[in-house]
Amino acid sequence: MAEKVIEAIRGLERDRFRAMVDGNGPLLDELLSDNVSYIHTNGKRETKQQFIDGITAGRRRYRQIEIQSQDVLPAGRETFIVTGRALIEMEANNGALLFPIAYTALHAQEDGEWRLVAWQATRCAIE
């Protein structure tokens, strides 16, 4: 049972990253908890609506998000913690930004659906 849920959580992470690249606000709305705490690599915290609006309005433009490593661990029956590393490519006013991150994500069941309830990422040195 846990393996099936772990694979489902991995799929949700891929779906969320794809929605961020595609600017897919409705999918992000489905995948994020209404009470999500989303903390970016610069320390800025956003609500669900602020995060989605930044992407759909084009203020934050992701070109690619490549998962480099990922561990999914149960933290109870209805909660999973994801830790990982990813390579982020963003569009900036003066060209592309490319940087690695380490992140922690918390997924929990809400009304029978898995949703992201917390995210915190740190920009890493390029190794």
Q: How many whole angstroms separate alpha carbon 69 and alpha carbon 45?
A: 24
Alpha helices per DSSP H over the chain: 2-22, 25-31, 48-56
Q: How many whole angstroms separate alpha carbon 36 and alpha carbon 49?
A: 10
pLDDT over 70 at 1, yes or no: no
* Angle 54-96-19 from CA coordinates, rounded to 5°: 40
pLDDT per residue as tens digits for the range 24-63: 999 999 999 999 999 999 999 999 999 999 999 989 999 9
Q: How many whole angstroms separate alpha carbon 32 and alpha carbon 28?
A: 6
Q: How many whole angstroms separate alpha carbon 6 and alpha carbon 3?
A: 5
The pTM for the full model equals 0.93
